[in-house]
Every structure is written in structure tokens, then in C-alpha cells.
A and B are shown apart, each in its own frame.
Chain A
Amino acid sequence: MVASSGSASARRSAGRLNAPRPALVETGPGGTPRVVNREQVTLVREEWRVVDRWWTEEPVDRLYFEVVLESGRNVCVYRDREQSCWFTQNA
């Protein structure tokens, strides 16, 4: 695997793989995604919730949606219920 960085910015420390990225999501009436990153959602394929690390100071409470966009792309987005914001991630 090759990181996209020049010598000056080359990373020396370990990084997380598949870190969540902020997403722009508009939701429909039931709270399901309607538009993801300015692209219309055509189908919500699956929905699940992940609650973990509730015993730590950084609890995880996420509502995941696997959606199909207008372009035919499959995207996984989740709503972070702790921070009340949306992210994309390959689940």
C-alpha cells in the first residue's frame, strides 16, 4: 500500500485504516438518508446500529445505512448519535 505523500509530508507513525470521513447528508422523514454528498439516494439496502465502548469516555453509538446512490455507487453512511453528525465509512 502506498500513501499519497511526498518526502516532506511522509508519515512516520501508524494511522487508522478506514477512518470515517465527514459526509453531507440530507435525511427524509424517518431519519433515513435522502441525499449523500449532493447525490440522490435511490435505495436504502440495510440499516443497523452499533453501540460499543459505552464503558469508556469515548462511547460509540452509530446508526449505519448502506445506500445505493443515483450513480449506482454503494455507500455506507452513519449518523454518530453522540456528536449528531454524519460520516461515510466502508463498514
Chain B
Amino acid sequence: MIACLLIPGFELRAALRTRPRLALVPAALAPEAGEEPLLGPVTAAAEQAGIKPGMRLGEALATCPSLVLVGRDPAAVEREWEEALRRLEDAGFAVDPVEQGAVVFETRGVERLYGGVQPALERALAAIGSSWDPRIGAAGRRFTALAAASVARSGRILIVAEKDEQAFLEPLPLSLLPMTADRYSELEGLGLRRLGELAQLPGDAVAERLGVEGRKAWRLSHGGRKVKVRGRRPASELAEALVFPEAVANELTLRRALGSLLERLLARPERAGRPFRKLALVARLVDGGSWQRTATLRDATAEPARLRAALGPKLSELSAPIVELRLEAVELAEHTGQQLALVEPAGEEAAGRLREGLRQVRVSTGTGSVCTVVEVAPWSRVPEARALVVPRDD
């Protein structure tokens, strides 16, 4: 069975960990700097005062003048989320995070350990802790589990039996489907409000009218495909931090600090000679907020000059003076080095680049996303019988 654990408003909850008093008053996550002034998640007190997530800032302040805006704290959110995932992993669940506040896992591997699905899910809830208000939905398919979690009450487990999945999905709102706002309004314009109404339409007609996105939504309204959940590989903690005695905004000082952090990170024995694939630069701002940028390298490297060139420009995006700078290795490459040939065989370089390109596509889009065309009956008069598209994971 696939389970989905959901923590609504996770970003706000994580930001309020250091200011628990604000959880009891009307408060909302402030809009992101430079983005449209729309509120993030809101507290229960704010909801009672008529504030809704996604509301315009001006409208919200007019509705509730005492509304407290909580600054975004991406570093704290990431730290808390990672801790929550690790607690689940420590309890034996192979987790696949969907986004911050939503994670999917299979119960099959731990059912015998805990004595069934229900006890296993109770263990998952306990691992997260009741202070986060987690809830769990479980079903035979991933989308149904997500939908069940979104309607489950705080601290509760909602298990949907396989035979009841379609009936369970039918009355649920279309907003559960991962679609753009334009698509929602298009569907609403057609008079569709519930998943069941979309599921009743012929799939080909939906695809013709709404394209690939509509086809996917239609498939999900039937529960979606049966796919296995692949647990993430737990990341190892590899980070270096530098605390400044006083707030720093000077770019030259920041670049020197980055150079020093890089040297220390490269010298860590846990790296075992492996080059970096992805790094995160995290800063604690003087006003108490945080700032974070990640850099994924095209070619994994451990060369200080190339790493400085990739990370250095990000320091100019800092929005305020900082009191702490932290460099984290998010992902390391598997190989420890490349054996160079004195004379490259013809075509080897192009083939190597192609392999690397496909590897990067596979990493970003998941296994099964890179395919190869195999001719099966090139002589056939029926065009679709001539070739197959086969996933290629080598």
C-alpha cells in the first residue's frame, strides 16, 4: 500500500518553530521578495479572521489589520523537513518526498515489522510528532493516497481500499489535480467541479480539448497509474559553516569566506575523493531570516577554481548583511576520477558527452524517462506497429 504523509502549511510551521507564540495569533507567511504579493500558508487564528492562503497582501491587511507577517526562512524549512524525513527513515520507511510538507512511502516493507498497515502508519505519525499536525492517507495508488491525505483530519489515518478508490475520488474537488490556474478555470467554465465529473468524460475528448495536461488530469481522476514508490537515498551531512563576529555585506569578504569554506569542505575525509555534483549556499541574515541558493554543476568537480566560479556570483544575490555563511554538499558524484587517454579514439568524446547528457536528463526526470527506439516490424503497413519506444536505463 502507498501512504502519503501531509503536513499542511509546513513552511509556516517551520518558520514558527522559533516563535511559537505567533502560532496562536493571526499570522501568515509573507510573500516572497520580488514575487506577486500573495500570502503563503496562514495560522488557524488567521483563518478564523477571514484570511486565506494565496490572498493578496493588501486585501488581507484590510480584512485583518492585526495580521502578523512571518518572514520566509528557507534554511529552517529545509532543516526541519530533512529532520522529519530522517525520523521517518529511522522508523524504516523508504521515503520519496513530493515537496516540503508532503512525502510518499510504501508500507509493504514494514508491515510485518509493525504488525499491519494501520500500526505502521501510526508509527509514521508518531515519528513526525503531533506538534506538526501530520495526517496520512493510504491507498493502492499514489494519487489516491495524496488525495486521501489531503482530506484526512489532523493526526488521523485514512485508508482507502482498492475497490473503493474510484468512489472515494468522485466527490473530491478538481483542485487536487496538478494543473495550471488556466486549466482549472477552463474546466470550471465547462461546469466541472469534481473529479468524478471529469472521470466520466471520454479520455480522448479531454485530451483533444485540454492537451497532454488534460489527459494526465483525466487519468489521475481515475486514480492514475499504478507505480511503485522509490525511496530516496539518504543524504549524508557534509557541510562547513563560518560565523562572522559582526554582520558582513562586503562582497570581497564574502568571496574570501566562500573560498575558505570550499577549502574546508574539500578537505573533509567523508568526501572520499568524490567530486561535488550539487552544492547549497546558505546564509543567516542579520535580521534573523535566512537565504539559500543551490548550484548543480554540469560536470561534477572538485576543482576549487571551478567551484568558486559557480558559487561566487550567487553571493551578489544576498538581500541583507549576513552573520553566518554555510556551504553544504547536497550531492556527490559516484566516481572518484576520470582516466584520460593520451589519444582519444574517434567519436569517443561525442559518445561520452551524449552519455553524460542522458545521465543528467535521467537524474532530473527519473528512471524510464530516457528511451530508445527499437524497430520491431519496419515492413508493416500499419505505422504504429513498426517501432517501439523502450526505456533505457543503462
Contacts and interface: CB of A to CB of B under 8 A. Distances in A.
Interface string B328-349: 0000000000000000000000
Chain B residues touching A, majority SS: mixed
Contacts of A22: 204, 207-208
A7 B383 contact: no
Contact of B227 (A3, A4, A8, A17): A8
B382 A17 contact: no
Contacts of B225: 9
A50 B381 CA distance: 7
A21 B208 CA distance: 9
Given A8-B366, A10-B366, A17 B391 contact: no
Contacts of B204: 22
A17 B387 contact: yes
Nearest to A20: B384
Contacts of B388: 14-17
A10 B225 CA distance: 10
Given A12-B391, A14-B391, A22-B207, A50 B382 contact: yes
A11 B368 CA distance: 5
A8 B142 contact: yes
Contact of B208 (A7, A24, A53): A24
Contact of A2 (B98, B230, B361, B390): B361
Contacts of B371: 1-3, 11, 15
Contacts of A6: 365-366
B389 interface: yes
Contacts of A52: 380-382
Interface string A14-43: 111111111010000000000000000000
A11 B391 contact: yes
Given A1-B373, A3-B371, A18 B366 contact: no
Interface residues of A, number: 30
A1 B372 contact: yes
Contacts of A9: 216, 225, 227
A57 B208 CA distance: 27
B361 A89 contact: no
Given A14-B389, A16-B389, A22-B208, A5 B369 contact: yes
Contacts of B391: 10-14
B296 to A, nearest CB: 16
Nearest to A1: B371
Given A17-B386, A17-B389, A5 B373 contact: no
Contacts of A19: 384
Contacts of A91: 383
B14 to A, nearest CB: 24
B370 interface: yes
Interface string A48-88: 00101100000010000000000000000000000000000
B161 interface: no
B386 to A, nearest CB: 7
B212 interface: yes
A2 B369 contact: yes
25 contacts: A2-B369, A3-B371, A4-B212, A5-B365, A6-B365, A7-B365, A8-B227, A8-B366, A9-B216, A10-B366, A11-B371, A12-B391, A13-B391, A14-B390, A14-B391, A16-B385, A17-B386, A18-B386, A20-B383, A22-B207, A22-B208, A24-B208, A52-B381, A52-B382, A60-B381
Interface of B: 98, 142, 204, 207-208, 212, 216, 225, 227, 230, 361, 365-374, 380-391
Interface of A: 1-22, 24, 50, 52-53, 60, 89-91
7 residue pairs, one from A and one from B, having the closest CB atoms: A7-B366, A10-B366, A10-B368, A17-B387, A12-B368, A14-B390, A22-B204
